[in-house]
Chains A and B, each alone.
Chain A
Amino acid sequence: AQSVTQLDSQVPVFEEAPVELRCNYSSSVSVYLFWYVQYPNQGLQLLLKYLSGSTLVKGINGFEAEFNKSQTSFHLRKPSVHISDTAEYFCAVSDLGRDDKIIFGKGTRLHILP
């Protein structure tokens, strides 16, 4: 069965500094990988996804993530964060060819310090 581990429950970072949010997954088959963002009191929206091809995926709001199959990781990065990036970030995995089920990690709270 697939699973997702987000290693940090909270990440504080100063405004305009770079950030990396870590995500590791486990699955016995090939997977699709996602990062979603949840702003306060809102639903989730997709930041980016990896289905196949280039292992470096670019998303919205200047975020990118790199798929590393050997390390089973899909870490999210941004070179310079803004106060508006304050949110909860969820990594998610879906097995190829399964019943559209996506397993979410427990989330990482990104806290931007002024």
Chain B
Amino acid sequence: DTAVSQTPKYLVTQMGNDKSIKCEQNLGHDTMYWYKQDSKKFLKIMFSYNNKELIINETVPNRFSPKSPDKAHLNLHINSLELGDSAVYFCASSPRLAGNEQFFGPGTRLTVL
């Protein structure tokens, strides 16, 4: 199936740990994104990559580091996890041009204990 996929779907971990979330899209899109959705459903962009190049880097703690090995993958690594990092993280992709639909992955629910 053509889609945006994320792994894992659920992630439960202790404070202070380091974890990664993986994202892959097979839609042939040039641009990929990471969003954070908090408990109130507020959706905020974190990062955007176009052809492996960082385009958008919002005000995000530097404990969060995106890595794009190729244009079909955008992984998110989080160091020293904190309670406030608990949220649902969504990966998305879109064609390069502005105004195009963003295709979202199913989300990764991160719970930090």
Contacts and interface: CB of A to CB of B under 8 A. Distances in A.
Interface stretch (A62-70, A72-80, A94-102): A94-102
Contacts of B50: 100
B99 A43 contact: no
Interface in B31-74: 31, 40-45, 48, 50, 55-56
Given A42-B107, A43-B90, A43-B107, A102 B41 contact: no
Q: How large is the interface on A (under 10, 10 to 19, 20 to 34, 35 or more residues)?
A: 20 to 34
Contact of B48 (A38, A44, A96, A100): A100
Contacts of B101: 34, 46, 49
A90 interface: yes
A41 B104 CA distance: 13
Contact of B31 (A32, A44, A45, A100): A100
Interface residues of B, number: 26
Given A43-B107, A44-B104, A100-B48, A94 B99 contact: yes
Residue in B42, B99, B100, B101 with the greatest tally of chain A CB atoms within 10 Å: B99
B26 interface: no
B98 A97 contact: yes
B14 interface: no
A43 B43 CA distance: 11
Interface of B: 4, 31, 40-45, 48, 50, 55-56, 90, 92, 94, 96-102, 104-107
13 contacts: A32-B98, A42-B106, A44-B92, A45-B104, A88-B41, A96-B99, A97-B98, A100-B31, A100-B48, A100-B56, A100-B98, A107-B42, A109-B41
